[in-house]
Amino acid sequence: MLSQIVNRYYENIKVINGIFRGYEIKCFLIWQPSVYTLTDNSLHEHEKKIRKDTPRSDNTKLTSMIFADWCSKHYNITDLTNSLDTKLPTDQFYNDWCHLTREGNLHVAKALAKKFKF
């Protein structure tokens, strides 16, 4: 099943990239962190509940498969899954398993800025 998700993901990226090329827009593709890419000891109590209530044990494997595929380099996908590694358990950065709070988005944006040297 994960292989199908990876294939669908790259089919979607191919279409999106084609649209951007058609409009001569530079496309930046980002693989962002999720509540599953955080270490257990960095999780806020609310995030622990989210992880428990929406188990996605295959998320780490999916991330590995995305970046093992040659398309990740072809489309220059930026891996930001580690951008919240310094997160403290007192910080709540997730509203659900993949949607960041304002503060979480700010931390990811800062990591992105460092990658692209904005």
Instruction: Give 31-48 pLDDT, tens digit per residue.
Output: 999 999 888 899 999 999
The verdict on residue 23 lying in a domain is no
The verdict on residue 62 lying in a domain is yes
Residue given tokens 């199908």 in the structure block: 4
The verdict on residue 86 lying in a domain is yes
The verdict on residue 53 lying in a domain is yes
Mean pLDDT of 20-29: 93
The verdict on residue 20 lying in a domain is no
The verdict on residue 8 lying in a domain is no
Q: Give the count of domains, the chain.
A: 1
The verdict on residue 63 lying in a domain is yes
Whole-model pTM: value is 0.84
**Structural contact between residues 38 and 47, judged by C-beta atoms closer than 8 angstroms:** yes
Rounded-to-integer distance, Cα 79 and Cα 29, Å: 9
The verdict on residue 6 lying in a domain is no
SS3 79: strand
Structural domain span for residue 90: 28-116
